[in-house]
Amino acid sequence: MSKKAVPTAEPKDESNVACASQSSSAPINAKLLKEEKIELHRKMVRIRRFEERSLRAYQAKKIGGFLHLYIGQEAVAVGCCSLMGKDDHVITAYRDHGHAMAVGMDTKALMAELYGKITGCSKGKGGSMHYFAPSLNYWGGHGIVGGQIPLGTGLAYALKYKKLKGAAMAFMGDGAVNQGAVHEAYNLAALWNLPVIFVIENNGYSMGTSQERSSAGPGLAKRAEAYGMNWGTCFGHDVYEVRATMDKFLTLAREKHQPAVVEIDTYRYRGHSVADPDKTYRTREEIEEYRRTKDPIQLFQKKLLDEGVLTEALIEQIDTEAKAEAELAADFAEASPFPTPDDIQKDVYWETDNPDKRTSKGRLFFE
Amino acid sequence: MAVLTYREAIRAALAEELARDENVVLMGEEVAQFHGAYKVSEGLLEKFGPDRIVDTPISEAGFIGMGVGASMLGIRPVMELMFWSFYSVAFDQILNNAANVRYMSGGLINCPIVIRGPANGGTNVGATHSHTPENVLANHPGVKVIVPATARDAKGLLKSAIRDNDPCFFLENTILYGDKGEVPDTEEVIPLGVADVKRQGTDLTIVTYGRCVLHSLAAADILEKEHDVSVEVVDLRTIRPLDIDTVLASVKKTHRVLIVEEQKPFASVGSQLAYMIQREAFDELDGPIHRLATIDAPAIYSPPVEVEQLPNPQRVLKAALAALA
């Protein structure tokens, strides 16, 4: 059983903030140039092809540890991150590949990180769950459920302290909403009017436990009411709707320092991680129903075809290029060297990485 | 030299660094309007205003994590824990996020946060409020751990910690807050990782830190007067980075070692020290390394008995005589 056993109708938008129209006619979408729309589509396709390629690499035992795939959820990260201005920041949990690509990280460095190579975005020190790109305002990639939410609140605190007109988007899954740290962060954000949007990517299952088996109350975002915060929900399979909803809350955060909780309805086609056999908690039919009726790439592709933005030939070209990019990333990762044991103790302390600027004495490492 | 209490010295360090760098903020429970649960921050709200001196709710995981996130974007938060004992409710933020973020990002992200507050027993507040987690903290590569014993050290080391680009955990002591000591009138920044020989001696090295430095000095006086024994007291001041060289130099002089620590014995700071001393100065030792720690049980409430559970001058004296036997 999931949050809803089989999808029947699109959930209506629910929110305590007056809604803009959540469609292609919403101002934030109406002003999109043709190339920008194509780019939204391209990013979703690139994420999916990257994830599929990383799955094959995992199955070929090129990748260690866990691999949490973003397949099915692409419209969420792409829609949200497409709204980022220069002072907007993002932090997320361990299903972090989609956000990393959405903010513009290089797929070669991402794949190399999965392979544990020195050319990876974290030099092979973080792995799948720990992608970072501070130069792109992307602060991870965090492994402990809900643990990144106070950090995202801190990003918002820093923005406000520095009087920058930006907002932080702190992403979490539906399984994170019952962690104490999340509620502590909600309270601080509301208490101090911090420009942070807490984005719940509700894919229905916290690992193998459905929402109805894990979370009390009428809705995940609605809990914001207890803190006097704005909240909203959103059909997350449509990138236009994600943008329309998030734009509204981001504007309130940037302009008025109003935090919010936004619950975005989405779905993952793969197991919680690749290690999840995905046979015990949901049916094949449910997954197929989502793929058939709510696939974010298919839905957006159809819209852009109807708008005359995409053509079949262009769709084919984008897909071919995305597959080639993923393949190139895998080739790059394969050909890259591993870190050496000498690298293990680098990047631990700022001071030991900058020995000419070190002020402390004494031993920082022990045997 | 001015004479300041340990509390005033910490306050002076905070005030100087707040004035020096506008990215420094002090946050914690009761630090602003209440003037600090132990009055460390008294007067700072009036001087620096509510944007710099910030009262938080009782929400350690939330506000410590928030400080970690803010530090990633260039703020230099000084977070007060009313007691370091409360670190356990923010453990994930302190030791997964602050300690690891630089490493997991391949060196792309710094976390220049200071977390400070008292960490000591001896105040009859029972097991939940008497933790001394310096060993637990120092077990995490990526962090720095400082435990000052005197007003002068507290001020100079806190200034270093606030300027440091790595996460620094600064462990104070409620019993020392009222202790007076000389502090230079001119600015003094004491580098982390430099031990201080608080007393010169030739017969026995006591390696210690925090309040146990005072117990050790008191015991050393008795040993000199009543037993004609010359004790050297090495105050580590910083646990990580660790100035083992000063310790080893003292061992080479005295050839006998007693470690004194307000720590539960299992996997304590002293355990690490004893390993390093035997590994690096084995031939210099005239006897086994001795250690005096907290008696191995949760902190007892009963006031007269708690004194006996912790190191105290009489226990140090006894342990020193055993080490000299």
- Res A7: pLDDT: 36
**Within this chain, do residues B201 and B143 fall inside the same structural domain, yes or no?**
no
Range of the domain at A275: 34-357
Ordered DSSP codes for A319-355: HHHHHHHHHHHHHHHHHSPPP-GGGTTTTS-HHHHSG
| pLDDT at residue A8, as a whole number | 35
ipTM: 0.96
SS3 A126: coil
Tell me, yes or no, whether B191 lies in a domain.
Answer: no
Out of B144, B162, B183, pick the residue that ends a domain: B183
- Do B246 and B124 share a structural domain? no
Query: For B51, which residue in chain A has the nearest alpha carbon?
Result: A161
B188 in a domain, yes or no?
no
pLDDT confidence of residue A18: 57
Question: Is A110 contained in some domain?
Answer: yes
pLDDT in tens, B190-218: 999 999 999 999 999 999 999 999 999 99
Q: What is the CATH number of the domain that holds A245?
A: 3.40.50.970
Q: Is residue A246 part of a domain?
A: yes
pLDDT value at residue A3: 56
Residue B108's identity, in one-letter code, is L
Q: Would you say residue A215 lies in a domain?
A: yes
B140: annotated active-site residue: no
Please check the confidence at residue A326 and state whether its pLDDT lies above 80.
Answer: yes
Residues B202, B132 share a domain: no
3-state DSSP assignment of residue B114: strand
Chain B stretch 81-140, residues whose beta carbon is closer than 8 A to a beta carbon of chain A: 92-93, 96-97, 101-110
**Any residues with CB less than 8 A from the CB of A215 and at least 6 apart, and which?**
A174, A177, A178
Q: Is there a contact between A29 and A241 (Cβ–Cβ < 8 Å)?
A: no
- Report the predicted TM-score, pTM, of the whole model to 2 decimal places: 0.96
* Residues of chain B with C-beta less than 8 angstroms from the C-beta of A126: 103-106
Mean pLDDT of A9-18: 57
Tally the domains of chain A.
1
Query: Cβ contact (<8 Å) for A154 and B92?
Result: no
Confidence of residue A16 (pLDDT cuts 50, 70, 90): confident
Average pLDDT rounded to a whole number, residues A351-360 = 97
Q: Look at residue A202 in the predicted model and tell me its pLDDT.
A: 98
Say if residue B209 is in the same domain as residue B310. Answer: yes
Q: How confident is the model at residue A24 (pLDDT cuts 50, 70, 90)?
A: confident
How far apart, in whole angstroms, are the C-alpha atoms of residue A302 and residue B131? 61
CATH no. for residue B22?
3.40.50.970
The CATH number linked to B315 is: 3.40.50.920
Q: Which of B8, B80, B129, B261 is catalytic?
A: B129
Least confident of A4-13, A159-168, A200-209, A325-334: A4-13
- Read off the pLDDT of residues B13-40 as tens digits, 9 standing for 90 and up: 999 999 999 999 999 999 999 999 999 9
The reply to whether B166 and B219 lie within a common domain is no
Name the minimum distance, in Å, from the CA of A285 to any CA of chain B: 39
pLDDT(A15) > 90 = no
DSSP helix/strand/coil, A356: helix
The Cα of A203 is separated from the nearest Cα of chain B by a number of Å equal to: 25
Mean pLDDT computed over every residue of chain A: 94
Instruction: Judge whether A3 lies within some domain.
Output: no
pLDDT band with cut points at 50, 70 and 90 for residue A13? low
Instruction: For residue B138, give the chain A residue with the closest CA.
Output: A364
Burial state string for B65-78 with b = 16 or more CB within 10 A and e = fewer than 16: bbbbbbbbbebbbb
State the CB neighbour count (10 A cutoff) for residue A62: 16
Please tell me whether residues B136 and B36 are part of one structural domain. yes
Task: Chain A: give the shortest CA distance to residue B62, in Å.
Answer: 5
The per-residue pLDDT for A11 is 44
End residue of a domain, out of B183, B215, B230? B183
Residue B69: list chain A partners with CB under 8 A: 91, 139, 150-155, 157-158
Establish if A1 belongs to a structural domain.
no
Q: What is the reported pLDDT for A329?
A: 98
Backbone angle region of A328, left / alpha / beta, with phi > 0 → left and psi within -120 to 50 → alpha: alpha
- Residues B24, B136 within the same domain: yes
* B175/B244 same-domain check: no
Percent of chain B with pLDDT over 70: 100
A162 in reach of chain B (CB within 8 A): yes
B177 and B58, same domain (yes or no): yes
Q: How many CB atoms lie within 10 A of CB A332?
A: 18
**Residue A306 reports pLDDT greater than 50:** yes
Which of B162, B183, B204 is the C-terminal boundary of a domain? B183
Q: What is the pLDDT of residues B268-289, one digit of tens each?
A: 999 999 999 999 999 999 999 9
- pLDDT tens digits, residue range A109-161? 999 999 999 999 999 999 999 999 999 999 999 999 999 999 999 999 999 99
Within-domain flag for B190: no
User: Which of A150, A159, A346 is opposite residue B65, by nearest beta carbon?
Assistant: A150
Q: Is the pLDDT of residue B137 over 60?
A: yes
User: What total number of domains does chain B contain?
Assistant: 2
Best residue of A113, A343, A366, A367 to probe chain B, by most B CBs closer than 10 Å: A366
Give how far B93 is from chain A: nearest CA, Å.
Answer: 7
A40-74: pLDDT as tens digits: 999 999 999 999 999 999 999 999 999 999 999 99
Domain that holds residue B292: 196-324
Q: What is the pLDDT of residue A5?
A: 40
Q: Examine the domain organization and report whether B142 and B17 are in the same domain.
A: yes
Which residues, other chains included, contact A239 with Cβ-Cβ below 8 Å and sequence gap of 6+? A40, A44, A75, A78, A79, A82, A296, A300
B22, B144: one domain: yes
Is residue A367, in this structure, part of any structural domain at all? no
Residue A112 near residue A119 (C-beta atoms within 8 A): yes
CB contact under 8 Å between A151 and B105, yes or no, is no
> In this predicted model, what pLDDT tens digit does every residue of A277-288 receive, in sequence order?
898 999 999 999
Q: Which residues from A are below 8 Å from B73, CB to CB?
A: 89, 154-155, 158-159, 162
Name the nearest CA neighbour of A175 among A233, A215, A122.
A215
Nearest CA in chain B to A339: B106
The contacts of residue A27 (CB under 8 Å, 6+ apart) are A20
Report yes or no: A33 and A90 within 8 Å, Cβ to Cβ.
Answer: no
In a domain, B12, yes or no: yes
Confidence of residue A19 (pLDDT cuts 50, 70, 90): low
**Residues 139-168 of chain B whose Cβ lies under 8 A from any Cβ of chain A:** 141-142, 144, 160, 163-166
Q: Chain-wide mean pLDDT for chain B?
A: 98
Residue of A128, A155, A157, A352 best to disrupt the B interface, most CBs of B under 10 A: A157
Tell me the pLDDT tens digit for each residue of A244-268: 999 999 999 999 999 999 999 999 9
Instruction: Look up residue B58 and give its DSSP letter.
Output: S
**Contact between residue B117 and residue B80 where contact means Cβ atoms under 8 Å apart:** yes
Q: What region does B315 belong to: left with phi over 0, alpha with psi -120 to 50, or beta?
A: alpha
Does B13 share its domain with B148? yes
B30: annotated active-site residue: no
Distance from CA of A155 to the nearest CA of B (A): 5
